[in-house]
Structures are given as C-alpha cells and as structure tokens.
Copies of this chain bind each other. A is one copy, B any other.
C-alpha cells in the first residue's frame, strides 16, 4: 500500500492568514473569528474529515516592514487584528473527541513556569490532544512592545529556547511521578508529597526551584511542533520536534529538506521516523478540473498585492514597497530575498520574478505551493508529493474560510480514502498515539525523556 497521507488544518485567530485580501471574497467567513460558533463548526468539519489536527498560527506583533508602517497590514488584515490562539482550544475540544490542537507560542512571550501550566491545562482539558508549535523568534514590533530593545541574536535565541525547553521538560516529565496523585480518602492523601519533586532549575536565563503546579496530563509533554529553517534551527527541530513544518515550493526541495531533517534527527540519537514532516500547501478543489481552475481564477482576482507584499516584507525583513513593481530581485543583497527568489525560480524555472509576480504568487497560500483541480487531480498530486519526498503529510492553509476545509472534507478525503492512502477512522488515545501509533508520552529516544523521573 502507498504511504498514508496525514492532513493538518493551518489557521490563525485573525481575519487574515496567508491568502492576503481574500477576506474580500463573498464566501469568506474569516471575520467570524471572534465568534465561538465559527470555531466549533470548523472543528466539527475537520473531525468529520479525520484531520489529525488544527494548527493555529500566531504572531505577537505587527507586519510593519512594508512601507515602514503598519498601515498596509491593517488595511489588508495581514494577520492583524489577531487574538490569543490558546483560548480556542477548550471550546473546540468540548465539541470533538479526536481532533488534535497545535498551538503556537514563542519562548519569548511568557515565563516557562506559568507557560508549562497553560500547556498542561490544555492537555488535561482536551484529554491529551495538545501540540505546541515552538517559536523561537517573533516580529521585531512584538519585542518592542514587551519592553525589549531588540531581539536576542540568532544563536542566543536558540540558547534561550533550549533552556526554556529544559525547564518545561523538568516540569512536565521530572516533577510528578506517575501515580503521585492518590486521592486516597482513607489515608487522607490527595497527593503523596514524596512523589512530587522540586526541579531546582538554575540556568543562564531562568531560575525555577519549585515543582510543577499541574498534575501529570495525558501526554505530559505536548506533541512538539517546530519549523526551523536555518542550520541551527534544523538542529533545534531535530532535537525537540516531533512534527516538523516546512514550506517547500517543489518536490525536489522538499525531498532534500526531509532527508536532511531525518539525517539530523538520527544524529541526535533518534529514529528517522521519530519525526513527521508536514509541508505547507494550499489546495483549490471543485468537482472537475475546469471548475477548480475557474474557482482559482476567481480567488486570484481577490488577491491584495499590498497585503501579499506586507507579509513577504515581514518574513524577509526587506521593505518591498521601495522597489519598482516590474523590477526583478536577483540583485538585492538580502539572504532572505535571495532564498525566496531561488525558491520561486525553482518552482517555475522559466520565469523571471518581478516584485509584482512575487506578490501574485504569494497572494494565495503565502510562500507554499498551490494545487488546483478535481479531487482525483489533487489526490494524484498529493500522492506524488508524498511518494517522491518521504514527507508524511500536509499543513493545509485555507484560501477562504471555512470553505477550503469543507471542500477537503467533502471532496478530497473520500477520494484519498478510496485510494487507501488516508485513514478511515481515528486511532484511540492521545494525539501522540494517533500520530505515531506508539506511547502516549514522549518516546524514550526523545531528548526530553532524559528529564523523566
């Protein structure tokens, strides 16, 4: 049988995510993001489609590089306004039984002592369905608003992130023994204090002497998601990550990224299949190829050029408002721009990429690939992506909400199931058990398990 394909829904607690300007499409309901019913309905749709999880992006700050102002971000709802992702979980968890929840949080937002309690709480309330997308950086404007003059340097950032994770592992894995909670009325012992241990952490960035405030949750450590791209980032991902997000524009690039991630994972003493790799992707579905193409063309007419360049400027740190729209970018001295141009060029080697063309390309689904077609066409493409790259699945962004996800559940999933490459039911157990078919907690080979008592 062909390799199973896994699907994650990629969303954000904001009216705008990766398809800039699509809030103007008449079918889009993203503005309902402040309404709990919107999220509960979305969770039900995704669980009906047997998605492994819904993954909620977050930024704490504003995309203010483009035009050196936040105006374009506000005009185009480029990930602003944006609300706290974590609070969506309990309402969605109450309405579902299996769907996982990936929550984005930067190690710079909050001290690890209260943060570890937030994650344990979410894991308890969802019955062990929580993932944490570990972000090591954030927007410069976020740093300023937290009263920090500038972000840490790149390497320092990972040093801090490593210590942050260490504190979390000690709290989650090394503080409460399994069975510490007795609830023994006869002996008048709710918790046996001999089985709860202070972590005594004294590091460079954090001092946490005490024990964890939460009793052990079903997974203890949430499933760890990571998306590191640099060499140092890849090392961090291979040490901590269990699900790795990438955004490769072509199969060749993805194949090489997956191979290098698995090799780094093995170098860290883990098994190559201890990580699952998800590629960011956008799909446009309709019953026939022609209808799907027409739908895509309609979507493209709603792209906001400024919104797209606002996101791109934020990601690369280069103000793209300063360039002639018809200018190509080969000669811009920016690593980020060059790697973007390289990715675009690889995606479509026949083209030169002007600023306007980049805006157009990124207008649907940001910097990830877009697949357009009938369920059979899209299924063919997804199978080819998985078979040729050794990736495990896709992190699917919507063009319109919740329409893109409804299309996947109603049109694509049945087709993938017919082909035997998609599950027909969820596994029982925690999110980690569903994803890896092994234990509820961290694998023995995972770095975090060395903090286990």
Contact, CB under 8 Å: B190 / A87: no
Whether the Cβ atoms of B94 and A36 lie closer than 8 Å is yes
Interface residues of A in 101-148 (CB under 8 A from B): 109-111, 113-114, 117-118, 120-122, 124-126, 141, 144-147
Cross-chain contact B84 with A87 (CB below 8 angstroms):
no
Bound together, the chains give a CA A217 to CA B254 distance in angstroms of: 42
Contact with A84, one of B71, B117, B193 (Cβ below 8 angstroms): B117
A1 interface contact, C-beta 8 A: no
CB of A215, distance to nearest CB on chain B (Å): 4
Query: Which residues in B have their C-beta under 8 angstroms from that of A114?
Result: 60, 84, 109-110, 146
Enumerate chain B residues within 8 angstroms of A340, measured Cβ to Cβ.
none
Least distance between A253 CB and chain B CB atoms (Å): 33
Identify A75's interface contact among B80, B188, B210, CB under 8 A: B188
Tell me how far the C-beta of A183 lies from the nearest C-beta in chain B, rounded to whole angstroms: 6
A74 touching B214, Cβ below 8 Å: no
Contact partners of A89 in chain B: CB under 8 A:
87, 90
Cα–Cα distance between A437 and B80 once the two chains are bound (Å): 33
Q: From the candidates B93, B113, B181, name the one contacting A91 in the complex (CB within 8 A).
A: B93
- Indicate whether A373 reaches chain B with its CB closer than 8 angstroms: no
Query: Contacting A40 at CB < 8 Å: which of B61, B84, B94?
Result: B94
Per assembly, the copies of the chain total 2
**Does A196 count as interface, using CB distance less than 8 angstroms?**
yes
| Residues in A318-374 with C-beta less than 8 Å from chain B | none
Contact with B along A204-224 (1 / 0, CB 8 A): 001111110111010000000
- Does A84 lie within 8 Å of B147, measured CB to CB? no
Chain B positions within 8 Å of A122 at CB level: 84, 87
Chain A window 172-194, contacts with chain B (Cβ cutoff 8 Å), 1 for yes, 0 for no: 00000000010101001111110
By beta carbon, the residue of chain B nearest A304 is B188
Q: What residue in chain B is nearest A23 (Cβ atoms)?
A: B190
> A209's contact among B111, B145, B217, by CB below 8 Å, is which?
B145
Give the complex CA separation of A183 and B207 in angstroms. Answer: 46
Which A31-63 residues have C-beta < 8 A from chain B?
Answer: 31, 34-37, 40, 60-62
Contact B84 A121 (CB under 8 A): yes
B193 near A74 with CB under 8 A, answer yes
Contact of A190 with B77 in the complex, beta carbons under 8 Å: yes
Q: Which residues of B contact A290 (CB under 8 A)?
A: none
Decide yes or no: A188 and B76 within 8 Å by CB, A83-B214, A125-B36, A210-B144 being known contacts.
yes
- What's the nearest-Cβ distance from chain B to residue A29, in Å? 12
**Is there a chain B Cβ closer than 8 Å to A82's Cβ?**
yes
Compute how far the CA of A99 lies from the CA of B121 in the bound complex, rounded to whole angstroms.
Answer: 22
**Is A95 engaged at the interface, CB distance under 8 Å to the other chain?**
yes
Q: List 18 A-B contacts (CB under 8 A).
A: A21-B188, A35-B125, A36-B93, A40-B94, A61-B210, A62-B210, A74-B191, A75-B193, A80-B213, A81-B213, A81-B215, A83-B121, A89-B90, A91-B125, A110-B111, A111-B146, A145-B209, A145-B210
Given contacts A31-B183, A80-B213, A81-B181, 12 further A-B contacts (CB under 8 A): A36-B126, A60-B113, A61-B210, A75-B189, A86-B87, A87-B90, A89-B90, A94-B94, A110-B114, A113-B146, A145-B209, A145-B210
